[in-house]
Structure 1
Amino acid sequence: MNRDCAPIPPAALQAWSKSFLAGQDPEIRDALLSDSRVVTYSAGTVICRGNSDYRVTLVHKGRIRAKVTSWDGREVTTRYATAGHFTALPAMLTDGAPSSLEAVTMCEVSVLNPNTFRRLMRTRAELAYQVAVYLAESTYETVAYLEDNLFNSVQQRLSRHLLEMATPTVNGLLVQTDQTDLAHTIGSVREVVARALKKLDDIGAIRRYRRQIWIEDPALLRSFASTDLRGRRLPEVRDS
């Protein structure tokens, strides 16, 4: 089926305008987005499992977690993708990668055609250069995540992940997860995470209710998360 003239959804155009490719020739944008399909994933869905099973996506809304999993089931988060971010660009260029993707919240994405993307990169030098810069920056981001998991305390890692996983609602910032999922996310165990959550609850940084964690004091939570080794600035999380 020829999709060269397929209409591009407004949500895809808006996400593109937030992406690192926003300044590219509109012809490149239209070629990629016309040859894509919009897919929605519910929270907790495994989008792809790594290796040759990968999805090159442009995120419209929601939050996606990239992770690597050891043979014994332990997980380490390598990055998060939100609106305007692309996923699996390294896998597209190497025909597979070790990380898998999971929807943290309900997500809507454009699933791009990797063949079209590779063809454009071979013929458009500016596109290829921008992707190369993006991949370099993503590598540094992944290294920083690994440093956090290797050297930072559970309290620091947990606080940072809660901030990055939080979704704004009319009632405040909400993280929908449980202790087991959080332990997997930060590469720890349930019992240790439970103690760290209780501490945050006791001081008023969060409020827990079943699988819901409400962030009551984002600034206080950031103070726990921000003392990492690289001094990286954490993303601002707004409650409206």
Structure 2
Amino acid sequence: MRRKDSHDGPARGQGGGTGGSGVTAVTGGGETGGVTAATLPVFLFPSELLFFSEQRRCHRRVLTLYNPYSFTLDYKMLCTSPSLYRVLEAEGSVRAKSCVDLVVRHLNVSPANCGRRDRFRLEVRGGGQRGGREVWAELRGGEEGGGEGEEEEERKRRKPGGHQQRGLQLPLVPTAVRPSVSQWLLCVLLALLCAAVLMLPLHTDSGSMVPRCLHVSTNQKLACAYTLGLLTMVFLR
């Protein structure tokens, strides 16, 4: 059994002549499928338990009992067919502003019990008041979800040409990597160098005042121009 507390910490089970593992038989009495005649409203969900014979994970269901009151609630679970079900901690208590999960397990999942409806009744008391609520349990054949299991649904989703819509899978596009400060500085220096080379005279220029050792060839200017164009694209991003 899982216990969930919203304010006062974990709730602790108390008492229980069943030792926390069974349910007490109940016959007649109360209303069918609703809140029994009592003065204390009981917040128990869901209102119906459905078990499926061919799906193992559906042989166990969870009932959640909420206690919105400012006092502790003592509870006891009753059932019309206690031999077919097992409830973890069928008796206990829920602290104020807390809730508790009651795990109900079907013990005889067989075709002979398919369609059988049994009744649970949860009786609570606290704050000088009593209350109760009834929940129906039914065993159905097949699997949950219209008789098709999870594996069958997965095969349908993967089958080419199926009618089920699927989301478009966009190709992964690598995001641009932001260069570091040192890389930016290197690019700036390289761009200045390329610009300086482009302003130098060619080897064929004889009347230039620039020393002959600083003259460059046409291929060197073309390489610097190409490099400067690439750096310009980097700066404009």
TM-score by length of 1: 0.24
Q: Which has the higher strand share?
A: 2
Q: Which has the higher helix share?
A: 1
TM-score by length of 2: 0.24
